[in-house]
Structure 1
Amino acid sequence: MYSNNKNLGEIPMYIDTFQPAASSLREEVFAFAAREYNTIPEYPWAKSPGYAVLRHTDNRKWYGVIMEVPRKRLGIDTDGANLPTSPDVDILNVKCDPVLSGSLRMQPGILPAYHMNKENWISILLDGTVDVEQIFTFLDMSFELTARKAKAKTSAVHNTDWLIPANPKYYDIETALAEHPDEPFFWKQSNNIFVGDIVYIYLTAPVSSLLFKCRALEVDIPRQSGNKNIRMKRAMRLQLLETYPRGAIGRDKLKEHGIYAVRGPRSIPQTLIKEIEMLL
């Protein structure tokens, strides 16, 4: 049975013919996509009624694909395993920054993309191996990577306020700045940040909060990282200006200002800066 929904670009949606794998988070993903992006899943393949596509309403690009596949096809050995569910598992394919894909695949439940470009996409198990909030973060990242890009302006104006991510799993910047708040520190530079620019630092999951405001004192410093999880060719030296309480500028607050993911240096909206300044 299928319905042809014109709001979804005349793509057939096959329904009522599929039962999802037990212990699957697919419905949580669908609910999140509907709530955050107003997306309804599409089912374009009659022979695979359990395969669902999440796509942008404007450019029609996919930002998520959910499939039920045998665990063995994913390289998961089920021989002799006492699995509480069927040998099939739901997965979510999302687009990923190639710089991050290698380290992400080292985490449990995150695999090379099934049936998609393995450099730019990853597969996430939806059986509970990966925390649902982390899955939502990956979906945010994919949504932003596949979003329609704004046309370049003919006369570009240099951005002076930046938002950059910090992964607390790789470096405990909270403790470092709490112990030495007045000492300038080095940080990876991967964009055209200039001396004097303001840099806001957002700690990714599980913190998911903007915590620090800094000023760039020195930029374009040749420097290698001693952390194998961080690839770095140049660094900037930052001075801490302000520290904000956890949760005051969280993930939901960023979304109110159009920021769905912080995967690299990006400009920060003036509306958000004004709201941050009200915290002082």
Structure 2
Amino acid sequence: MDVSYLLARWHFVPEKLTAFGFHADHGVWTYAAPLGDLGVELHVTLTENTLTLHVYDPDMGENYLPFEMPNDTGAFAAAVREAAEAVVRRLQDECTVQADGTARIVAYARAQYGTETEQPWEKYPGFCTLKTPENKWYGLVMPVPAKVLGLAGTDTVTVLNVKAAPEKVVALPDGRHYFPAYHMNKKHWLSILIDSDLPDAAWQELLQESYSLAGGKDWRGTAWIIPANPKYYDFRKGLEENPCITWKQTGTVRKGETVYLYSAAPDSAILYKCRAIAVDLAPESGLKAKRMMTIAKVEAYPDDLLTLERLKPYGFHAVRSGRRLTADIVAHIEGLVTAYKNEH
């Protein structure tokens, strides 16, 4: 279960994670512990950009899938979710501190849109630009003196500038939460005071609108299928023993994008869904690759679920090299997965 959206508010403290029972390996933090006397284990994986939960059934030797299915109302599944949520609350209480305004915005933009912020002005190191994959601005985060917004005091406050519909640019400014755009076109942009009692959901909704107005596409719909040959590398063992592995980078895979690992014959099926957590890495000595990437396992699939035969209606007759997937293919894949989960 991907709960990366929680990183928009939480800042994890490494020392506290260690005390909680996490182990770190190359920037990936992992935690595993039994869930009470339920006979299953909670596995948590934390990276800079992702936070995922899985419940593992040691008797079955596989993940307990009903945990990730909200429509499963069985008593045992409900008990597992309740126990897992209790651990997550402990994790928040014991291992995190409240992120400041800028950190919350940056974390949310990264998790929601795959955005890596930029600090383009040396004179203003605290200013962060938010850009769509097409390199269009949809946000600007600025620490500014309160007085530039007409507020009393000498404090520095966090402001988020967003694009907005003309009627909102006129109607929203109230001198408390919303203001005419500071340092930007006041006909099309709006300033939001983050250091206030404004709920995060309010600025997140406006940031979504700004992303759309800037022409941003849903990056989470962007995915790749990449072949893996079990004759040359036991990737099953690699992904079962480690939360992430390093892989030859295909094309223009971006950080945060989905990577489906397709196992060649005799499997001839997609066996894993992963997420790229680091890209454009230098290859290790001796490897014939221009670039490498680190991928983290999101979930594993049964061998007979996402077979080549089931992918053929979408033009798959062989998977010999990595390719970008269209939204309809991803929807087909995820539809098969959802149907399987509902049946099991």
* Structure number with higher helix proportion: 2
Which of the two has higher C-alpha Rg?
2
TM-score, scaled relative to structure 1: 0.41
| TM-score, structure 2 as length reference | 0.34
